[in-house]
Amino acid sequence: MFESLTEKLGKVSKWVTGRGRLSEANISDALKQVRLALLEADVNYKVVKALVEDIRLRAMGQEVLASLTPGQQFIKIVNDELTRLMGESVAGLRFSGRTPHSILLVGLQGSGKTTTAAKLAHFLRKQGRHPLLVPADVYRPAAIEQLKKLGAQVGVPVYPSTDSQKPEDICLDALSTAGKEGADLLIMDTAGRLHINEALMAELSRIKDRLAPNEILLVADAMTGQDAVNVAESFNDSLDISGVILSKMEGDARGGAALSIKSVTGKPIKFIGVGEKIESLEPFYPDRMASQILGMGDVMSLIEKAQDQVDEKEALKLQKKIKKREFDLEDFKSQLGQMKKIGSLDQILGMLPGMGQIKKLKQMSPDEKELAKIEAIINSMTMQERRRHKIINASRRKRIARGSGTTVQDVNRLLKNFVQTKKMMERFTKKGTSGLASLFG
């Protein structure tokens, strides 16, 4: 996410903080680099112009020029202005009035509305809500069936609509029968088109007028950059949306949409989709995103993910095993599973300060296929071998390789990495930490 922008702004940050004093001349040079990095990241030109000017006005003041750490002050200003640009604080959903409340999801075809509807239902269910998914896309083949399958996957009821009904009638009927399902919230998945047209907007306007939803959220594909911003502007002009969900953020290497939408439309980004898994929908925190963009990491989100996904009892049990030097291959496999719950290794590295910019470290980290191979190798071992790795001799290695569909070299590499990890964790324990357990505990 934002890899290219983070790398470029990281260079500016390093250059600025390496100077003992800052003058108007080198602040101007730094701002040119910031401007270029933002334009290359596909940020709206008018947004870039206003942002750079705001940074300039603050940076040329005594706050920076008279500071003992001018470089750090300059980067703080950039961080503050990026945060302000994206909305300053997290924008929650607005629920008021009588239940059931309702959320209308709108957007172009292919933006990920249907999947996002299920992800949002899963997220709100964990918050104590009782959502009902409403399939109101009667045009796309199998759209209704897709939402029914996703609803079953997340354990959320789906209103039994058919493609012979009008979308506004589906939504009204669902609203009147929600109580029978024990639902206090409707999430309505509507039809999209390949482009914005009058028929699409007229249909959505009818649903809006008849239901008066609490939230109208545009689902936009982050990877389309400025096209996503233009789509947001058009939907906002026609429907007065209440916010945006940016889907496919994990594939957005530039960041133009996230940095432009709030400024162009005046409407906040409320959620971001960060992966294909049903759990991969997160509230959008402007301050955390700004820190990540500047290479400062997002430790707070990493901690929250760990707390949400990891069993505390298991983490404490692991700490005790490490202290007693009893960490084995079964524990190693368990920790890999915990990491996969939190997110991809790229995502985890991106949340650690400075780690996202260290290319060598990213190249060293195994990809998802490599993790699957490691699990297959460990699964091919007997429990005795997992508990006592030293008994794995040449013949056992051949058997394990055959059983896991890998090579003896793969098995050797895993055992070598395990031994190194075990030593590292024991070293950390001596210093008062607990290796990987400190992340998961």
3-state secondary structure at position 135: strand
Residues 101-290: name the CATH superfamily: P-loop containing nucleotide triphosphate hydrolases (3.40.50.300)
With residues binned 3-state (H G I as helix, E B as strand, rest as coil), the percentages for the chain, rounded to 5, are: 60, 10, 30
Q: 98: which strand partners?
A: none
Structure letter (DSSP) for residue 437: H
Amino acid in the structure at residue 284: F
Count, in order, helices (H) and strands (E) of the chain: 22, 7
Residues of the chain within CATH 1.10.260.30 domain(s) are: 301-440
* Beta-ladder partners of 240: none
pLDDT by residue, tens only, the chain of 441 residues: 677 788 888 888 888 877 767 788 888 888 999 999 899 888 889 999 999 999 988 888 766 666 657 777 888 888 889 999 998 888 889 888 888 999 999 999 889 999 999 999 999 999 999 999 999 999 888 899 999 999 999 999 999 988 888 999 999 999 988 888 789 999 999 988 888 888 889 999 999 999 999 999 999 998 888 888 999 999 999 999 999 999 988 877 677 888 889 999 999 999 999 888 898 899 998 988 888 787 665 444 444 555 555 555 665 665 666 666 677 888 777 777 666 665 555 555 555 444 444 444 444 455 567 778 888 999 999 999 988 889 999 999 999 999 999 999 999 988 888 887 777 666 655 554 444 444 433
Using CA atoms, how far apart are residues 175 and 112, in angstroms rounded to an integer?
Answer: 23
CA distance 243 to 283: 12
| In the chain, ranges of CATH 1.20.120.140 domains | 3-85
Q: How many CB atoms are located within 10 Å of the residue 303 CB? A: 12
**pLDDT at position 194:** 80
Per-residue model confidence (pLDDT) at position 400: 94
Query: How many residues does the structure list for the chain?
Result: 441
Architecture of domain 301-440 in this structure: Orthogonal Bundle (1.10)
Question: ∠ CA(92), CA(93), CA(94), 5° rounding?
Answer: 115
| Paired sense of beta strands 185-190 and 101-106, if any | parallel
Do 158 and 132 meet the contact criterion of CB atoms below 8 Å apart? yes
Topology given in CATH for the domain delimited by 3-85: Four Helix Bundle (Hemerythrin (Met), subunit A) (1.20.120)
- What is the pLDDT, as a whole number, of residue 187? 96
Question: 217 pairs with which residues across the strands?
Answer: 105, 243
Q: Pick from 180, 181, 178: which is nearest to 213 by CA? A: 178
Residue labelled with tokens 């594939």: 251
The DSSP 8-state label assigned to residue 158 in this structure reads: B
CB 205 within 8 A of CB 239: yes
The pair of structure tokens assigned to 315 is 């983490």
What pLDDT, on a 0 to 100 scale, did the predictor assign at position 299?
A: 46
Residue type, 299: V
Indicate yes or no: pTM above 0.85: no
Q: Which residues contact 337 (CB under 8 A, 6 or more apart)?
A: 375
List the structure tokens of 25. Answer: 């001349």
Can you give the pLDDT at residue 74? 82
Identify the pLDDT of residue 421. Answer: 73
pLDDT of the residue at 360 = 42
Residues 116, 219 contacting (CB under 8 angstroms): yes
Task: Indicate where the chain has its CATH 3.40.50.300 domain(s).
Answer: 101-290
Per-residue pLDDT, 425: 65
How many whole angstroms separate alpha carbon 393 and alpha carbon 408? 11
* Alpha-carbon gap, residue 317 to 212, rounded angstroms: 51
